[in-house]
Structure 1
Amino acid sequence: MSLFKQVDKSGILVTEVCAMSDAALRLNNHLEQLLGNPLPVRIRAWDGSQAGPPGAPVLVVRNRRAVRRLLFKPGELGLARAWVAGDLDIDGDLYTALGLISGLVWERDEDSRSLSEALRDPRARSAVRGLVQLGGVPLPPAPPREEVRRRGHLHTRRTDRRAVSHHYDVGNDFYEIVLGPSMVYSCAYWESPRGTLEAAQRDKLELVCRKLGLTPGQRLLDVGCGWGSMAVHAAREHGVSVVGVTLSQEQAAYARKRVADEGLTDRVEIRVQDYRDVTDGPYDAIASIGMAEHVGADRYLEYARDLYALLKPGGRLLNHQIARRPEREETTYHVDEFIDAYVFPDGELAPLGTTVTQLERARLEVRDVESIREHYGLTLRRWVANLEADWPRAQRIAGPGRARVWLLYMAACALAFERNRIGVNQILAVRPPASGASGLPLRARTWN
């Protein structure tokens, strides 16, 4: 810069060089002015400059497009788009950085405000103008190609099939990296944080089987059977006949191969079928593990009634489902912008109480509810570790953007479970027989 001072006495070139070598400081100052608080992370900008608290995790702003994404879609979705596109990155511990950044998006105290709230404040015009200048071309960047374009009504058979395909047909090889040998894509059940993921997933499958009271010769319907882990375990360890249904062609092909390899084709049938089209009941038991989140608010009572109709009197349902915390004014199910756009299109979370009420409205008797929230934080951290350990291959299989989606999604969800923003529950319900006898032992929690 001193060279420019000697060459150009007008100061114009000096201004230009300064503007290109202090982007981090300017970005930091504008954001702090908007938010009314110091930024909790350090910023490294595209020009190599840095600003912010020393020793803090570094938010790497790779280009001006990242600034434009935050301006045109402030908050969670703008940050997610920038992350997926590679415009933003994190240098340092991912969980620590996400925990600090979450305060700008989700978890705020009474003395702070989110970025989207700040940008709407008329008093923030100076800071906004500064960010616009930093962002360059005043046009909104196109969303990354991994973002879902919504078409049609929610939760029809067609849109549900498309949503499931988006999430689960990423590639079985990719899920083998993330999930490990168990190929179970739901919360594990840990005896100790030092245990293995495979043992914790086996214990979860066994817990479900014991809660359902499975005995040889019974029929089990596995709704949303995934890659066949529950179906194989129940047939092999408890001697039941299983029908597993999924909307994913890739999952079904993988599950059928597992069934054949285990020599269980006479006891396990895997179908590509919507649960609403299953008509060959009654079943002695139904397992719905990590599937009900896809059902949707408008369809949930229908879902519960369909499962009730498929159970024989005295038959049991194990509904394993993520729940959000209730709001003061309950008007709709919660939709997370990032997860809806990139991970689970059309997924909706309800509070535990809402889910229990809907199951009871369908005439099921809820007999037991177990929260296993802490177990999901442990599970997600193991999935993240698996993904990071084989990161180059994961990117080759799924593509860099999709791999970044899964990394952000799983790490952020681990923190959400650990901080009690969301929970996960196993709900055991019974279709009561005419006699009123539930069929459960007097001390039902023998499964523990």
Structure 2
Amino acid sequence: MPDAALRLTRLLEQLMGTPIPVRLRAWDGSEAGPPGAPTLVVHNRRALRRLLFKPGELGLARAWVAGDLTVEGDLYRALGLLSGLIWERGEDARGLAAALRDPEVRAAVRGLVKLAGPPLPPAPPPEEVRRPGHLHTRRSDKRAISHHYDVGNDFYELVLGPSMVYSCAYWPAPEPAATLEQAQRDKLELVCRKLDLKPGRRLLDVGCGWGSMAIHAAREHGVSVVGVTLSQEQAAYARKRVADQGLTDKVEIRVQDYRDVTDGPYDAISSIGMAEHVGAARYLEYTRALYALLKPGGRLLNHQIGRRPQGDESSYHVDEFIDAYVFPDGELAPIGTTVTQLERAGFEVRDVESLREHYALTLRRWVANLEADWARAVRLTSPGRARVWKLYMAACALAFERNRIGVNQVLAVRSPESGDSGMPLRARTWGAPAVQR
């Protein structure tokens, strides 16, 4: 009689010291666990071997990306139920070593090894990229950006929609009143207002992506824009969009590292969803480079994901799954660290706005786009890459909703020696852009 699911459930509960909150279906068709809960489908014994050879988040991710492990039912609910056993458990290598001194834990591990079959470590899925250290040289940053962004513009169109904006939208209340495209337009307009863009001024868009911010700023506010990206595919796409909009006299798109931009000064700089790639070792260099490119009185809008402080408040954090499959070399810091580094470079920080809930709403829309055209997404990339994106975006949506991570717009000024920042006396007089209908 098939019983792998029951055996697996008992062994996992013995190992974790707590009931498994989801239902399990094993490779032999057996099921166990709470009725009505989402079902974690373990398609083969290889999934167990992945977990045994790499316990925790990365082993689970490898099983998911390879298709050895899937979820039936509400993925968000499944991830929410499992979060206490994965992301919020906080068990490091020392904690694992201590746990293995417990006879019951050792017995559970032996049982899982026996259930998993021959102990040969499966090769990681081909979508995984692993490099030693986080060097953040020009060459390593270019490779990291290429891994994430050069997977096909058609795939990004499918996920992001017509706006082609790969950062959180700015939603009205109630949220269903706006489409994703309207909410993204409002975010771009919010950035432009914070930067006080006006005809004749120069804007540098660092990490310009597919050109959406550059095009909006030039078309709606009459500024001249230089957009820089390390992605060849993004640059080609952005240049075509600029030409189609008739803005080639206003917008220049370059494949260029921000450290190599030398044609300042600029009146304003936007950095939207780029600073997460900079890294702890280079962050002060990043802030100083942008400070040097601004004229006195110029403004910087730094839009960046941050993590909640844990232990050492100034430390950066690297997520194993995201580092291996999504953003190689990406590092998240608390907002306090970001503000400190901007001030160390000479900036005067004038405003900080959290958009945490906005990113959760945006990610759920992106997941819906992916699910609605899943077969095409797989054709455009690979089954593993599509699974990477689904897990990444759904897990991040929950992380934003549960306040494990946040996203902030920091408005900073290179104040002149006179002290006249040019900022309004009352904060946020730029207001909230109206939803365009």
Fold match (TM-score > 0.5)? yes
Give the count of matched residue pairs. Answer: 427
Of 120, 123, 129 in structure 1, the residue corresponding to residue 100 of structure 2 is 120
Cα distance in 2 for residues equivalent to 1:131 and 1:34: 9
Q: Does 1:82 align with 2:82?
A: no
Helix, strand or coil at the partner of 1:416: helix
The reply to whether residue 157 of structure 1 matches residue 138 of structure 2 is yes
Q: Is the 8 A contact 1:417 1:423 kept in 2?
A: yes
Select 2:52's aligned residue among 54, 71, 76. 71
Structure 1 residue 387 displacement after superposition: 0.2
Equivalent of 1:200, from 183, 188, 198? 183
Q: Greater CA radius of gyration, 1 or 2? A: 1
Instruction: Please list the CA deviations of residues 280-306 of structure 1 after superposition, one character each: whole Å capped at 9, or x if unmatched.
Output: 000000000000000000100000000
| SS at structure 2 position matched to 1:103 | coil
Match of 1:55 in 2: 36
Q: Who is 2:199 aligned against?
A: 216
* Equivalent in the alignment of 1:394: 377
Sort the Cα spacing of 1:74 and 1:227 in 2 relative to 1 into closer, same or farther, 3 A: same
What's the Cα RMSD here? 1.7
Q: Is the Cα contact below 8 Å between 2:49 and 2:116 reproduced in 1? A: yes
Give, in whole Å, the separation in 2 of the partners of 1:405 and 1:237: 36
After TM superposition, list the pairs within 5 Å mapping 1:101-112 onto structure 2.
Answer: 101-108=82-89
Give per-residue Cα distances to partners, 1:399-419, cap 9 Å, x unaligned.
000010000000000000000
Secondary structure of the 2:167 match is coil
2:169 and 2:299 mapped to 1: Cα distance?
Answer: 21
Q: Who is 2:19 aligned against?
A: 38
**Alpha-carbon separation, structure 2, partners of 1:395 and 1:109:** 33
Q: Which residue of 2 aligns with 1:8?
A: none
1:343 CA displacement:
0.2
Most deviating of 101-110 and 409-418:
101-110
Say which of 399, 416, 419 aligns to 1:416: 399
Aligned to 1:320: 303
Q: 1:345 to 1:109 in 2, by over 3 A?
A: closer
CA distance in 1, matches of 2:98, 2:44: 22
Give 1:106 deviation, angstroms.
Answer: 1.7
1:277 is aligned to 260
Q: Determine helix, strand or coil for the equivalent of 1:445.
A: coil
Unaligned regions of 5+ residues in structure 2, if any? 432-437
Match of 2:125 among 144, 169, 185: 144
Unaligned residue ranges in structure 1 (runs of 5+): 1-17
Structure 1 length as normaliser, TM-score? 0.93
Aligned to 1:265: 248
* Aligned AA (1:107): E
In the alignment, residue 54 of structure 2 is paired with which amino acid?
K
**Distance (Å, rounded) in 2 between the aligned partners of 1:443 and 1:149:** 48
Q: Distance in 1 between matches of 2:381 and 2:329?
A: 21
| Structure 1 position 60, deviation (Å) | 0.2
Aligned to 1:358: 341
Q: Hey, what's the Cα distance between the residues in 2 that align with 1:199 and 1:133?
A: 54
Q: Which runs of 4+ in 1 moved over 6 A?
A: none
* Rounded Cα–Cα distance in structure 2 between residues aligned with 1:177 and 1:191: 23
Q: Would you say the 8 A contact 1:164–1:247 is kept in 2?
A: yes
Quote the offset at 1:107 in angstroms: 2.1
Counterpart for residue 434 of structure 1:
417
Q: Which amino acid aligns with 1:343?
A: V
**Letter of the structure 1 residue corresponding to residue 107 of structure 2:** S
Q: How does 1:92-103 map to 2 (within 5 A)?
A: 92-103=73-84
The structural deviation recorded for 1:441 is: 1.4
Aligned 8 A contact 1:74 1:115 in 2:
no
Q: Describe the shift of the 1:228–1:117 C-alpha distance in structure 2 as closer, same or farther (beyond 3 A).
A: farther
Tell me: CA distance 1:334–1:361, structure 2 relative to 1, closer, same or farther (3 Å).
same
Q: Is the 8 A contact 2:299 2:411 kept in 1?
A: yes
Q: Quote the Cα distance in structure 2 between the aligned partners of 1:159 and 1:147.
A: 16
Aligned CA distance change for structure 1 residues 117 and 202 (closer, same or farther; 3 Å): farther
Please state how far the C-alpha of 1:120 moved relative to its aligned partner.
2.9
| 1:219 positional shift | 0.2
- Taking only the aligned residue pairs, the percentage that are identical comes to 81
CA drift of 1:136 comes to 0.5
Matched, 1:169 2:150: yes
Query: Could you say if the C-alpha distance between residues 72 and 202 of structure 1 is closer, same or farther in structure 2, counting changes exceeding 3 Å?
Result: same
Asked if the contact 2:366/2:393 (under 8 Å) is kept, the reply is: yes
CA distance in 2, matches of 1:99, 1:74: 19
Counterparts of 1:121 and 1:167, CA distance in 2: 40
Q: Distance in 1 between matches of 2:404 and 2:429?
A: 30
Distance in 2 between residues matched to 1:153 and 1:128, nearest whole Å: 33
- Bigger relative contact order, structure 1 or 2 (CA pairs below 8 A, ≥6 apart): 2
Aligned to 1:384: 367
Give the CA deviation at 1:434: 1.4
The Cα shift of 1:37 comes to: 1.2
Aligned to 1:288: 271
* Secondary structure class of the residue paired with 1:446: coil
Residue 24 of structure 1 corresponds to: 5
Q: CA deviation at 1:109?
A: 9.7
1:346 to partner: Cα distance: 0.3
Would you say the 8 A contact 2:134–2:329 is kept in 1? no
TM superposition shift of 1:444: 3.5
Equivalent position amino acid for 1:43 in 2: L
The 1:384–1:117 alpha-carbon spacing in structure 2 relative to 1, beyond 3 Å, is farther
Q: 1:143-177 CA distances to partner (integer Å, 9 max, x unpaired)?
A: 11110031576100000000000000010000000
2:58, 2:313 → 1: CA distance? 23
